[in-house]
A and B are shown apart, each in its own frame.
Chain A
């Protein structure tokens, strides 16, 4: 047994929804003024269908709402009836086709109007049916289905079933939007992260269970700390939001991430209320491989990165990125998120797994070290620095100069000014113009030194290692 509620005038949608929810949790919103609800089993509580319909109208009237009510065996019949008849309409199960038979064809549009309807508006169909001389739903339903299919296609048959009150699909209950939030009011304000960790743990566990029940994970974690009023008047809220790289619902991981973030951004006063909320997202489906070593789970990686960021500082942990620049030492950083490998199709040929002659590497000074270089016959003859531990000495062999320049086209006049202090490498967009030399000193080490041509400074860029 299905009931349809139709508000006679424009009303706030929540009011009609509240009325419907008082009778059944299984309901489908068909528009701003129309709701269909499953009334199965309510007869034992209220009595027959007429009593239920009357009770529905009375409940709506209590909220100053005038509604039409139709109860029938099918959803389609109830919807068509509620659009046509005012007041209460009750049709016994099995009598839907007879009840709809005298109604005008235009009501087919009412049966198809829903937010998730799979049928288009039947304007063209109605015109065709009227040209055939049909006026009522009963006349359309009485046509032979095979003839309808031959002339209107399969869609015409579906409309014919609607005209006889049959449902094209079962009722799709609207699931109320769930809030994944936990709150804890403290009797005494707490100060410091250690006591807060216990509170967070107590909040995260039910939140994690709730997420697990609904097969959801947290996409964003919100922590709201209501602080004590420092001036006695103004309440303060310390709010942090953590974008999680992957859906997470493990309580310990969520608590650790929240605490690590609060270590970096501590609240300014004692806390008297803690609210934890998450933005839910569907859970992950993981397929492990028998052929490759498993990578750490996203939860482990997130926790590790948060711990490392708290220890080393923001932006100092991640994957290096080679940037599209000729600038020496230019690089970028991005979050560490290793992709799954595919052993069957590795990114490199298998035979390239070992090499005979590896490429030599440079150990680069992020801030080049100022050096004093004595030049004889156009070549460096002696290199010395003031850096303790970084020796200097006579040049045994050298190669160069390798001249490079760039960045002058995209910089302002301020950037072009000659700077006395060494500029950090790795920052793109900074102009450079220099001559590079590879030099082996008498201490046995090989360095890369360069002369800034605009300032005539010598600097040590790195050590060949």
Chain B
């Protein structure tokens, strides 16, 4: 191609900014419209996230065992129900506790609970041997079904929050899920009003448009003596990571035990007694 023609073409490209993705950084997804964000239901976290978790994006709640993942997820679902929206939870291993949801203030009528299979005796990692072509293990089938259910719910649309609980899936089983799976989920949810949330032991999807909440927690005990000691709550340290949305920070949330809450308030009575 003659040089003047190339110059004209390059000028035209620059004018229409068609080469922007190649020559400049990705544009910020910062949006001022509050309706584009889903409140997490926790004031301090919302302030850090500048409103909440983005709609139409894939976000993650990641953390080890007892780091407050389910606590945060229930707050997210409860906040969605309070706004009049409906939420769906794909519960891969059927670990959802209805009493905890009630304590978190979840309107159960507005929650679609998709119960996976409670695996009682997983063998090893539950995976096929490397390079094996045998029948899929129970664990693989359960995770596969959960991902298909997530896809069905996202395709149906109309949900404010759709979450999948993969927190108890062994890390080695999560690593073998092709990365294209998360890209496909991202594509499905893109442009919709749904905030899709993964609950995982480690950041997995790392979606550019979503946020990653990395949790850590320290249990807090109340009571001075052995006999009066009881679990007071968890101090959740939430680290927010979202480079493209330019929100980053760390928040400490004090989650309170529902038993203490029950003692502090007048709801009850609870049929529990401390045995001397």
Chain A residues proximal to chain B, CB less than 8 Å: 292-296, 300-301, 303-304, 307-308, 311-312, 316-322, 326, 328-331, 333, 336-339, 341-343, 346-348, 352-367, 379, 387-389, 397-404, 406, 424, 435-436, 438, 440, 443-447, 462-465
CB–CB B71/A465 < 8 A: yes
Task: List chain B residues, Cβ under 8 A from A337.
Answer: 109
Contacting residue for A465 out of B66, B101, B123, B256, CB 8 A: B66
A346, closest chain B residue (CB): B82
The A/B interface has a contact count, at CB < 8 Å, of: 246
Q: Can you report 10 A-B residue pairs in the complex whose CB atoms are below 8 A from each other?
A: A293-B85, A358-B253, A358-B256, A359-B100, A361-B100, A361-B103, A363-B95, A364-B100, A397-B221, A465-B71
Interface size class of B (residues with CB under 8 A): 35 or more
CB–CB B256/A403 < 8 A: no
CB–CB A293/B118 < 8 A: no
Minimum-distance CB pairs A-B, first 9: A341-B84, A296-B158, A361-B100, A331-B98, A366-B118, A399-B230, A445-B66, A361-B70, A445-B65
Interface SS majority for chain A: mixed
Identify the stretch in B9-17, B128-136, B176-184, B267-275 within 8 Å (CB) of chain A at 4 or more residues. Answer: B267-275
Shortest distance in angstroms between B252's beta carbon and chain A's nearest beta carbon?
11
With A341-B84, A360-B258 already in contact, the answer to whether A348 and B122 are too (CB < 8 A) is no
With A329-B97, A353-B39, A397-B229 already in contact, the answer to whether A402 and B71 are too (CB < 8 A) is no
CB–CB B69/A465 < 8 A: yes
CB–CB B258/A312 < 8 A: no
Per the 8 Å Cβ criterion, residues 101-159 of B in contact with A are 101-105, 107-116, 118, 120-125, 145, 148-149, 152-153, 156-159
B231, closest chain A residue (CB): A438
- Check if B233 is an interface residue, CB within 8 A of chain A: yes
Task: List chain A residues, Cβ under 8 A from B248.
Answer: none
Task: List chain B residues, Cβ under 8 A from A296.
Answer: 86, 156-159
Identify the stretch in B18-26, B40-48, B204-212 within 8 Å (CB) of chain A at 4 or more residues. Answer: B40-48
Shortest distance in angstroms between B240's beta carbon and chain A's nearest beta carbon?
16
- Check if B30 is an interface residue, CB within 8 A of chain A: no
Shortest distance in angstroms between B95's beta carbon and chain A's nearest beta carbon?
5
- Check if B99 is an interface residue, CB within 8 A of chain A: yes
A347, closest chain B residue (CB): B107
Shortest distance in angstroms between B115's beta carbon and chain A's nearest beta carbon?
4
With A355-B75, A463-B65 already in contact, the answer to whether A317 and B114 are too (CB < 8 A) is yes
* Bound Cα distance from A379 to B73, whole angstroms: 32
- Check if B160 is an interface residue, CB within 8 A of chain A: yes
* Bound Cα distance from A334 to B84, whole angstroms: 19
Task: List chain B residues, Cβ under 8 A from A301.
Answer: 156
CB–CB B273/A402 < 8 A: yes
CB–CB A366/B109 < 8 A: no
* Bound Cα distance from A355 to B104, whole angstroms: 10
